[in-house]
Amino acid sequence: MDTLPAGSPAHQRTLDARAVLDARAVLDALGREDAPTRPDVVTATGLPRGAVTQTLRALVSTGVVAEAGLDRERRGPAATRYRVDPDHAFGLGVDVARDRVRVALVDVTGAVRARAERRDVAATPVARARAAAELGRGCVADVATRLGRETGIEVSRAVAAIPAVVGTDQATLRRIPGYEKGGTTLHDALVDALGCPVALENDLNLAALAEQRVGVAVGVPTFVVLGLGGGFGAGLVIDGKLHRGAAGGAGEVSFLPHPERALGSEVLGTTSIRAIAAEHGLSEDVTVRDVVDRAERGDGAASDVLDLVAERIAVVASTIALVVEPELFVLTDQAARAPIADRVTRFLADRVAVLGLRVAASTLGPDAVVVGAACAASDALRDDVVRAAVAVDAAPADDATTAGAVETARAADRPDAAEAVS
């Protein structure tokens, strides 16, 4: 059997990877219960007692985990309780939409602590970045006031949603018809304005993350989000993981082949919806929101437009289903509103029932993207604290205190180790 020599770089990488997995598992277990004890965490994670003890010690040393008293009700010696300190680190989820900028301040537990938005923002990267920073400062001040702090709250990570194709470096906009010109201009402006690392992500990818965490797709391993607003696109989650594609372009379904449409032409989006609206006697500058509003008021022309829009959404869903076969399609943004969602559901049931497609309208409303950005920012915070804990855990035992901690952790795995170790 092949083995990795102790002390080799490959062996160290294996140990580091294991430590990262252990720290994430322990952090997750602490977040699921109210101040659990070390034995509780052992039970929840299935990790050895020594590994849990050592990981807890490392997490406590970083400040993300704190001791929360003793459990004196359990049998045997009292055990120390632990909790995640939600105020240890803060991140910012940003939604850089076509018509507004939204932000959500999130803590390391994933809880959104404050939110804000602005609509009067110039359509330039610098203006959007400055608006995000201004809104973020307002959120920080709000939380600091509630915590009774004058200082000490900083945003250390940000994730920004953008209705564009984002490269694998999460900094470069690849291709954005009718929007930004591409490159890293927006990313660089956000880093400069926010003063922290920033990751860009496609808006519907983040909407899919929100649906997976807190929306209608919780517990669904494979699903597709279809969003119709200023544009049309998809976010794909396959076997529980967001699928971005080889270069970040997965989900650009607005250009899928469609009956009676020229190959490569837009199926749905700002240009095509305006063209459909004009064909039915509506103003050429109408938005999909306007059309849905008019249909809700009983406008016949708007209803005819939505019949065609819903048919195109349904055909796209059917095409995706033949390739991916998701368990669920989630309609979001304007597509989640009843005048469109009901039509899509009826078309699929009447015309392609053989595929057995299941459709649900998002319940997150217009918040899906910014909620997803906040979730991603919180994930980035957790990755940071996990790396910090692993670094502490890997530090050499060059003094009696550290050596004693390591020996205590080792002792916890021995059969005769006292349960008092916590």
State the CATH number of the domain containing residue 262: 3.30.420.40
pLDDT digits (tens, 9 = 90+) for 18-75: 888 888 899 888 888 788 899 999 999 999 999 999 999 999 999 999 998 887 776 6
**334: which DSSP letter?**
G
Residues 133 and 94 in one domain: yes
DSSP codes of every residue in 249-285: -TT-GGGS--TTS-TTS-SSSHHHHHHHHHHTT--TT
Torsion angle of the four alpha carbons 120, 122, 123, 127, in this order, in degrees rounded to the nearest 10: -110
Q: Is the pLDDT of residue 409 over 70?
A: no
For tokens 């929007």, name the residue: 179
Residues 301-320 as b or e (16 or more Cβ within 10 Å = b):
ebbbbbbbbbbbbbbbbbeb
As for how many domains the chain has, the answer is: 3
Residues 356 and 235 in one domain: yes
Say how far apart CA 307 and CA 343 lie, in whole Å. 7
Residues 236 and 111 in one domain: no
Say how far apart CA 32 and CA 15 lie, in whole Å. 26
pLDDT number for residue 98: 84
Percent of the chain with pLDDT over 70: 86
Task: Compute the mean pLDDT over every residue in the chain, rounded to the nearest whole number.
Answer: 86
Say how far apart CA 198 and CA 166 lie, in whole Å. 13
pLDDT number for residue 179: 52
pLDDT digits (tens, 9 = 90+) for 146-166: 988 876 789 999 999 999 999
Residues 285 and 396 in one domain: no
pLDDT number for residue 391: 86
State the CATH number of the domain containing residue 22: 1.10.10.10
Say how far apart CA 155 and CA 144 lie, in whole Å. 12
pLDDT digits (tens, 9 = 90+) for 74-128: 666 778 899 999 999 999 999 999 889 999 999 999 999 999 999 989 989 999 9
- The residue segments making up the domain with residue 399 are 9-86+386-411
Residue 63 falls within a domain, yes or no? yes
Residues 118 and 198 in one domain: yes
pLDDT digits (tens, 9 = 90+) for 224-247: 999 999 889 999 999 999 999 999
pLDDT band for position 290 (50/70/90)? very high
User: Are the C-beta atoms of 126 and 409 separated by less than 8 Å?
Assistant: no
Q: Is the pLDDT of residue 416 over 60?
A: no
Say how far apart CA 255 and CA 265 lie, in whole Å. 6
